[in-house]
Amino acid sequence: MAAGEGDLKLLGLLVSPFVVRVRMALSMKGVSYEYIEQDIFNKGELLVRYNPVHKKVPVLIHNGKPVCESLAILEYIDDIWGTTGNSVLPADPYERAIARFWANYIDDKMFPSWIGLLKAETEEEKAEKVNQTLAVLMHLEDAFALCSNGKAFFGGDSVGYLDLALGSNLFWFEALRELFGVAFIDEGRTPLLASWAERFGEAAAVKEMVPSVDKALEHAKKFRAFFAAAAAK
């Protein structure tokens, strides 16, 4: 059996940016798979069995073998379906290392900041999380100038690893703008990212995988209720 053949399933949550980036990568490669939505508030047997350590989505199951953590899955997709579609990771070792650094920065710094808005109980806490997110995006504005080399995307002429890492969060930025009235990416503060976000949103390979803002808002209410209940314990 060739490396990319066989049964392929993805355990996910429609509005998870970590799941969305994996679905975008599979779309870029033109790979068919079975998508299985998960209830992260009441985790089922399938998720617990295939990701017993973290019990989180996404989980890519290829011929019965699970691959966990979205960035690791992106690299796996590129390795297995490397000759199909555009490459996800840069070919140059240095550029690849830089892309990994910034993708980890997004997950370690940016995601906790904006998800913290949904956890915040006071206006002071909300302001702190907004400022943290804006500070991260200013660094990513500089990263775009460094990585893109004047081209359309972080990955150059086409969507790549770092584009997926950041771009999978954009629909949530729109939802948070409606909820809290803050624009995280705008032409005045982050002009390079603002132009990039428009191009990314129109990329054919990723456009159809972006959940609606209404879906994000619907889940935001669930998340806020869950976080409030957890904080009250």
Interval 90-133: pLDDT, tens: 999 999 999 999 999 999 999 999 999 999 999 999 999 999 99
Amino acid at 44: G
Encoded tokens for 71: 């960035």
- Could you state, in order of their start, the residue ranges of all structural domains in the chain? 8-80, 93-225
Between CA 82 and CA 88 the distance in angstroms is: 8
Encode pLDDT of 4-40 as tens digits.
667 999 999 999 999 999 999 999 999 999 999 999 9
Residues shown for the chain: 233
Q: Report the share of the chain in percent with pLDDT over 70.
A: 98
CATH 2.60.120.560 fits 93-225, yes or no: no
Dihedrals φ, ψ of 15, to 5°? -100, 10
Whole-number Cα distances in Å, 75 to 37, 118, 126, 138, 161? 22, 30, 34, 26, 8
Query: Which contiguous run of DSSP H or E holds residue 6?
Result: none
Note the CATH number of domain 8-80.
3.40.30.10
Query: Residue 189, CB half-sphere, CA atoms under 13 Å: how many?
Result: 14
Q: Global pTM? A: 0.95
In sequence order, which residues have a C-beta less than 8 Å from that of residue 172 and are 6 or more positions away? 15, 17, 114, 216
Between CA 50 and CA 228 the distance in angstroms is: 29
